[in-house]
Amino acid sequence: MNAVTRLGSKVRRLAGATVGIPPRQINFRFRADSPRYMYGDNATASLHFAVLSGFFPPGEMFFVESVRRYRGRIADQRLKAEVSGFIGQEAIHSREHERLNAFLKERGIDTRVAEQSVKAGLWLLSRLPASQQLACTTFMEHFTASLAEQLLTDEDFRGRADPELLALWEWHALEELEHKSVTYDVYNLIGNRWYQRLLALPLVVGSLTPGLFISWSWMVAREGKATDWKDIAEGVTLLLGRKGFITKIMPLMPEFFARDFHPDQRDTSALENEWREKLFGENGELRDVWRNAG
């Protein structure tokens, strides 16, 4: 990292921190003896999270670029600082998921198909007008914020997950909640078009969901679990069953399409405070991997 890059990173960190969106320099360590399957000792469910980890680096860079192109229009100093914090947090999320993906590849869990699938889907979205791309980003940020809230409140999920790998997802979830309104506020600035928000759902689902299921199926088959019906049934139930982890967030999706929707209508401030203290407080669980603490 050269001096200019370091300075830019420091500016983003300081600006974001002033508005509650601090880019935390985290450096996770992954143990060679950690469980192969992070969630419920189940291959199918765990590989779904490996697919998501493969999706995140390209996805988060798409989010950043869809906001960055409108940065010059922002006059409000608070929103400018929030955008800086958002960009900084997303860049670090990308880096840490790339490190996790490299760790998984070393263990024979290859996320490259997921990475290429999401890049293809995002390429399709990148052909859209810039304002529609930002509308799609606001929808995906609503989804990830809902996923984050579920992860931080679902004790059953966390009780089944490997604590070491779970820590990365908890950190990521906290920061998703911290910056959940930023892309939407930028979208409001450029002219919030309700029809574009309505279109965001089919555009995102149509572009990204096929790749997600293809990648997930390929990884399950590569793991030798394609005919392990017990593992598949258990994994699908854990995620998509009546009380599944993903199923539980589906009722939150329609909120996005209300004409007067805003992410802050769902108040997660108490949850954020709880997890900031738990992860980064004086005795926080991640103090030892937080490089720019204080």
Instruction: Determine, yes or no, domain membership for 35.
Output: no
Angle between helix 77-106 and 3-17 (nearest 10)? 120
Please state the domain count of the chain.
1
Instruction: Determine, yes or no, domain membership for 9.
Output: no
Compute the average pLDDT of residues 128-140: 98
> What is the C-alpha to C-alpha distance for residues 18 and 11, in angstroms, rounded to an integer?
11
- Are 238 and 42 a contacting pair, CB within 8 Å? yes
Instruction: Determine, yes or no, domain membership for 243.
Output: yes
Taking residue 74's Cβ as centre, other Cβ atoms within 10 Å add up to 18
Instruction: Determine, yes or no, domain membership for 26.
Output: no
Residues 6+ apart with CB under 8 A from 184: 138, 141, 142, 262, 263
Mean pLDDT of the chain: 94
pLDDT at 4: 35
Q: Residue 155 is part of which domain span?
A: 40-283
pLDDT digits (tens, 9 = 90+) for 208-239: 999 999 999 999 999 999 999 999 999 999 99
Provide the percentage of residues in the chain whose pLDDT is more than 70: 95
Instruction: Determine, yes or no, domain membership for 271.
Output: yes
Looking up residue 82, the CATH number of its domain turns out to be 1.10.620.20
Rg (CA), the chain: 19
pLDDT at 292: 75
pLDDT digits (tens, 9 = 90+) for 194-213: 999 999 999 999 999 999 99
Residue 73 structure tokens: 């229009």
List the one residue out of 125, 139, 261, 133 whose CA is nearest residue 201. Answer: 139
- pLDDT higher than threshold 70 for residue 6: no
> What is the C-alpha to C-alpha distance for residues 194 and 256, in angstroms, rounded to an integer?
10
Confidence of residue 87 (pLDDT cuts 50, 70, 90): very high
- 274-283 burial, b at 16+ Cβ within 10 Å, e below that, comes to ebbeebbeee
Instruction: Determine, yes or no, domain membership for 112.
Output: yes
Instruction: Determine, yes or no, domain membership for 128.
Output: yes
pTM of the model: 0.93
pLDDT at 30: 92
- Are 183 and 100 a contacting pair, CB within 8 Å? no
Confidence of residue 2 (pLDDT cuts 50, 70, 90): very low
pLDDT at 293: 65
pLDDT digits (tens, 9 = 90+) for 34-57: 999 999 999 999 999 999 999 999
pLDDT at 14: 59
Instruction: Determine, yes or no, domain membership for 25.
Output: no
Residue 101 structure tokens: 């993906």
Residues 6+ apart with CB under 8 A from 119: 58
> What is the C-alpha to C-alpha distance for residues 269 and 204, in angstroms, rounded to an integer?
28
